Chains A and B, each alone.
Chain A
Amino acid sequence: MAGKGIAGDIRTAREHDSAHKHVSGTAVYVDDIRVPDDTLVVLIGQSPHAHARITGIDLSAVAAADGVVAVLTHADIPGRNDCSPVYGDDPILAEDVVSYAGQAVFAIVAETMRAARDALPLAKIDYDPLAAVLTIEDAMRAGSWLGPSVTMESGSPDSALAGAPLHLSGRIEIGGQEHFYLEGQAALAIPGEDGDMTLHCSTQHPSEIQHKAADCLGVPNHAVTVETRRMGGAFGGKESQGSLPALLAALAARRTGRPAKTVYDRDDDFMLTGKRHDFRIDYDVGFDSEGRIQAVLFEQALRCGMSWDLSEAIAARAMCHADNAYHIPHMRVVSHRCRTHTQSNTAFRGFGGPQGMVGIERVIDQVAHHLGLDPLVVRQRNFYPHKFSAGTVKGRTPYGQVVEDCILQDIVPRLAADADYEARRAEIEAFNRTGGMIRRGIALTPVKFGISFNTTFLNQAGALVHVYSDGSVHLNHGGTEMGQGLNTKVAQIVAHEFQIDFDVVKITATNTGKVPNTSATAASSGTDLNGMAAQAAARTIKSRMREFLAEQHQCMPDSVTFANGRVRAGGAQMSFAEAVKACYLGRISLSATGFYATPKIHWDKARSCGRPFYYYAYGAAVTEVATDLLTGENRILRTDILHDVGRSLNPAIDIGQIEGGFVQGAGWLTTEELVWDEAGRLRTHAPSTYKIPACADRPPVFNVALFDDGENTEDTIHKSKAVGEPPLMLAISVLMALSHALESVGDDYPMLDAPATPERLCLAARRLGGPGIALGDK
């Protein structure tokens, strides 16, 4: 029984463990760490060209400049010149070719940032520009791919399509997204004895940085320790992209023998780092007059940028979400991994899933428009069967996984009723029929998101728990804190295990010296994996304590109980601290590691099939919007969300993830637009030009609820579900609602691309025959 007596137990809305420090400015981020006065800074010299051969490098004037201590090029790297996560295709510093505008070519190590910035223009680098492939369009035309295109297929899509009574086809282009974590990439390197290096990094993946840093320094992994206390946001952008700044700091520290840090300023962060992949999705759909979809062919082309980074797994996840919530018997998804001379795109909350889902949501929406049906009806007709439907009628995804836990049949009607969807839709359509300049739209879209890393071996985690002789507990695990509340949840789990107050558990920085060989904190799996590992560690200690106390108090180990801060053994009763003390005096080990590996999952990459996901997380959102046809300006008027987090470990944190994810997704699909010029230079590289949602952009009416019947059918930590990524995709309702608003303008389907900026909406309204001034061809 969950002890109602301990403070900060699981299932309570315990505030973020660092909340007090956040609000008082005492939470330490990498750039806040107190460093010795002789700490150096590292500034990256970037390529101005998207694609060019380097024909000459003269950095002598840079090296001679005031305050410059060292200048680094690839020739200064003692070990491997690579900072890529998987394929070995991301040089730390360019050698003879640059492959995107912004790429790191050299690094200045200086006493102050001002000195480094003053020295930057003194570099003389000659380039011989080469033809650049910049867009998906270019890449598809030129056949510029990182690897062969991959196909996922179920049923017989061609014949099913041909046999379907009705057909539609189309294309949607979906823009990328900059992470815009508020804290830019940052790393601090402190050299130690024997060539050792300690790195403090803002990273989701300390182990990877440890391994990459060791490789580039030419030392064994054991010589490098990476520590991460917290990040000021990450969203996937610090899964692989934290390596470059960390490796450069390490190289600078190695070279000078002094501590060194790399902290990207905002523009550099935009120019250097990869983003969410932009996609172009072509589709052909066959369906019947009821809107039942019989076959879909998708061609997904995604812009990976100049190297693989994590694009292979991202492309796979996009394919695995091309069905979203819909049981489509015949489907083919072809995925083209475009290689372009732009930033190497990377993980971003949803990891390809959102783009895959936008594709099918667009298809459903267009089918509904074609049939004159409410898209919600079409959606519901195509849902995967409910989890309680008899075994044989369960749906199978295009990649062969049986969907055993579908609860959309519970969530969607409840949400539709709570949000008064039907009546509001009718009212909105009547409003739009009056033909005003303002049009409104509403849409309900579902989410089914697969939980686990697509790459099976990554689904493992470790933890380390010490109980000190005063009864206080030191908790460490391989996950990293980026604001998602992972540390809070894991500490709740450990507090619950020992039945002690939350504050007795000390949360400590992630450190490769404590828990080795960890996976990135990503794929929403942080709590699922690390929570289990920490629970296992705590249970190991508990069982040792039980055995000892049972012997001491002459009872069965199983009868020793931990509840509400107290331990009972036989007739004796004591505080947790007293029990610990007794165990310590009895020479019982009070330290343990814990380990967890997700069961049941497997993935055949070559055939794009298997059971990549342990389970699915579900949710749905209804969004109402308004747009001004004359200007394309638009805004969200109301959003209602019902989301499934299984049995919530912390409802406040879960709600926070849902709301934050939704607003971030809404930004992706509306105001956040990345613009590169014809030379391949990113022109939107600061918040002055790249617009993430501001306070007024959140839905003014925002009803968010946890699906209270939620319970994971799988044996996850306290039956909870992952929550980091899935809610982002609830924002697809915004795009669909905007499309609905435009549907009232003319007969044609609006074919709205994303992001739906005022410009896109205004020009679409004109195209559809809406009001406004006809300007001819000027």
Chain B
Amino acid sequence: MRDRITFVLNNQVEQVSGLAGDTTLLNWLRQTKRLTGSKEGCGEGDCGACTVVVARRRADGGMRWHPVNACIQFMGMLEGASVTTIEGLQSAGAGGGGLPDGQLHPCQQVMVGHHGSQCGFCTPGFVMSLFAAWCNGDGLAAPDIDTTLAGNLCRCTGYRPIVEAAAALEVRAIPPQFERQRREIEASLMAAIAHDETVCLSDGRRSFTAPTSLEGFAQSYAQTPGATIVSGATDVGLWVTKQNRHLPNMIWTGRVRGFDRVERSGAHWRIGPAVTHETAMTTLADGRPDLGEVMRRFGSTQVRASGTVCGNIANGSPIGDLPPMLIALAAEIELVGPASNRRLPLESFFIDYGRQDREADEFVAAILVPVTPTPLFRAYKISKRFDQDISAVLGAFSVTVSGRRITSARVAFGGMAATPKRAAAAEAALTGAALEISAFEAAAAALTADFTPISDMRASAGYRLQVAANLMLKYGLDVTGAPVPRLTGAGLSAHDLRATPTGTG
């Protein structure tokens, strides 16, 4: 086991040791390296001012440049990766040249040219989000740009000039010579530092361990009672930055071989502990556009690049977006511990607020999602803001139909109870009923028996109940042939709304 981490920073190899395991990348950059171009606007992954780009090799060998919120990324998560900060854009780094003095990188140039900065505080983050998309060659086109930038808040510009900068960048898709050189150097440095040992970053008081094998992971976890499992740290990071919690030992899933895989396992897709939302999206959303749309709105590009499916379930949150959808899809969860290896329906994992059916020594080894098509699956996410907002209510629905009769129904809600929860009374009202709007109206009314929601800063109890019932009605309209046009989705216009059928009144 190595007691240091090795990664690439702006195309220079960095070795770091003796650091507290919960040190965030942003604090290290700003305080230790005095690279102050990355800003802190919130310290919780919401504003994007701290965005840096982390390059990692994908399972298929290709390179992927992830925009990452440095404020909630632990240093240990960088082992073997390449980090580019705003300061790194104008130089090719170790051994390589760079842009002539003062010349801007195309991602910077377009922002200047389109008046994309006013106060400038958000700007490095935007530039880095654009840089990631530009390197990956996706996300800059008009319908995608809002999604690409959903994790970057700007309070000054109103975004229009930034979006135009992105459009101008898209046209300049071909990387100039120095950029090709930068990427070559990046790849060769990453190859040079790659190794297969477990690493542990610790200052003697707080440690962060990144095992490389399943056995190593299981062993570490078993031998360190009270250790915290970390996957994407999009929750755990906030425990540190927001709650100042002390986590003496963290163990990371992200480096374990095979944990990042989505694979077919019998009648299920098996989603490993380190599979990010970004990776899982293509599989999960296949044939289920609503799931795709909720995932598109899930956090931001940055959050989806780090956050994991298993983390979204393991955290037990009553307002997580995936649990109700996966429950409606009859997903299962696989738990593994020193003495156990069990599978249970996802809904029974959530026992009560803050309580899940997981022994202290078990970890979530996979989420299993049936491969069966679910043509009548729909999901609706209700939040104050469309993009990057935690749901006030999320309703997920899936019925099967035979003839014109509903043969089975799975309905689950987030935000309506202390856990993500199935709506038993509503399901009962639907099951066996004719596939007509009246069935859904009855099921909607039955929701009052299923839920007694609370009021909080996201919504009142009254609205939660009303909107949940209305979502059931909406679902009914959707599956009985009178779909209500959606107000969300990339590139929506008044024209779309005019062109689409308008439902019934």
CB within 8 Å of B: which residues of A? 13, 15-16, 18-29, 31-32, 34, 114, 117-118, 120, 179-184, 230-235, 265-267, 427, 431, 434-438, 440, 482-485, 624, 626-628, 630-635, 637-638, 652-653, 655-656, 659-664, 671, 673, 675, 683-684, 686-689, 691-698, 700-702, 704, 757-759, 762-763, 766, 771-773, 775-776, 778
Contact = CB atoms under 8 A, between A and B. Distances in A.
Nearest to B389: A691
Nearest to A630: B470
B285 interface: no
A438 B155 contact: no
A701 B503 contact: no
Contacts of B145: 695
A683 B457 contact: yes
18 contacts: A23-B116, A120-B244, A181-B155, A182-B156, A232-B121, A234-B119, A436-B505, A437-B477, A483-B117, A624-B494, A638-B494, A673-B384, A683-B456, A689-B457, A691-B385, A758-B383, A759-B460, A775-B465
Contacts of A13: 115
Given A266-B42, A695-B146, A630 B484 contact: yes
Contacts of A675: 456-457
Interface in B35-49: 35-44, 46-47, 49
B15 interface: no
Contacts of A688: 44, 46, 390
Contacts of B470: 630-631, 762, 772-773
A659 B160 contact: yes
B39 A29 contact: yes
B505 A771 contact: yes
A182 B150 contact: no
Contacts of A230: 119-120
A13 B113 CA distance: 10
Given A23-B104, A695-B149, A181 B119 contact: yes
B386 interface: yes
Nearest to B42: A266
Contacts of A181: 119, 121, 155
B382 A758 contact: yes
Interface string B434-478: 000000010011001000000011111011011101111110010
B389 A635 contact: no
A172 B37 CA distance: 44
Contacts of B445: 773, 775
B123 interface: yes
Given A23-B108, A633-B386, A691-B384, A437 B484 contact: yes
Nearest to A120: B244
B120 A27 contact: yes
B469 to A, nearest CB: 4
Contacts of A118: 244
A24 B109 CA distance: 10
A234 B245 CA distance: 31
B97 interface: no
Nearest to A13: B115
B157 interface: yes
Contacts of A661: 158
Contacts of B118: 16, 233, 483-485, 656, 660
Contacts of B41: 182-184, 232, 266, 687
Contacts of A16: 115, 117-118, 120
Contacts of A21: 120
B33 interface: no
Q: How large is the interface on B (under 10, 10 to 19, 20 to 34, 35 or more residues)?
A: 35 or more
A66 to B, nearest CB: 11
Interface in B145-204: 145-147, 149-150, 152-163
Interface in B43-70: 43-44, 46-47, 49
Contacts of B123: 22-23
Contact of A696 (B119, B146, B380, B503): B146
B146 to A, nearest CB: 4
Contacts, number: 323
Contact of B497 (A32, A626, A701, A766): A626
A532 to B, nearest CB: 23
A661 B154 CA distance: 12
A763 B462 contact: yes
A638 B498 CA distance: 14
Nearest to A635: B487
B112 A15 contact: yes
B90 interface: yes
Interface in B84-126: 85-87, 89-90, 102, 104, 108-109, 111-113, 115-124
Contacts of A693: 158-159, 385
Contacts of A691: 383-385, 389
B120 A438 contact: no
* A-B interface, 7 closest residue pairs, ranked by CB to CB distance from nearest: A25-B37, A483-B119, A436-B502, A232-B121, A22-B120, A435-B505, A663-B158
B404 interface: no
A233 B497 contact: no
Nearest to A663: B158
Contacts of A776: 448
B118 to A, nearest CB: 4
Nearest to B380: A631
The residue in B116, B385, B467, B491 that gathers the most chain A C-beta atoms within 10 A of its C-beta is B385
A702 B146 CA distance: 15
A593 to B, nearest CB: 28
B494 A656 contact: no
Contacts of A627: 487
B493 A763 contact: no
A762 B157 contact: no
Contacts of A683: 456-457
B494 A637 contact: yes
Interface in B384-439: 384-390, 392
B342 interface: no
B466 A773 contact: yes
B127 interface: yes
Given A22-B123, A26-B37, A182-B41, A633 B149 contact: no
Contact of B444 (A436, A664, A701, A773): A773
B11 to A, nearest CB: 16
A402 to B, nearest CB: 34
B393 to A, nearest CB: 9
A653 B158 CA distance: 13
A698 B159 contact: yes
A24 B389 CA distance: 29
B489 to A, nearest CB: 10
A660 B158 contact: yes
B161 A656 contact: yes
Given A15-B115, A235-B155, A266-B43, A25 B124 contact: yes
A182 B122 contact: yes
Contacts of B16: none
A653 B175 CA distance: 30
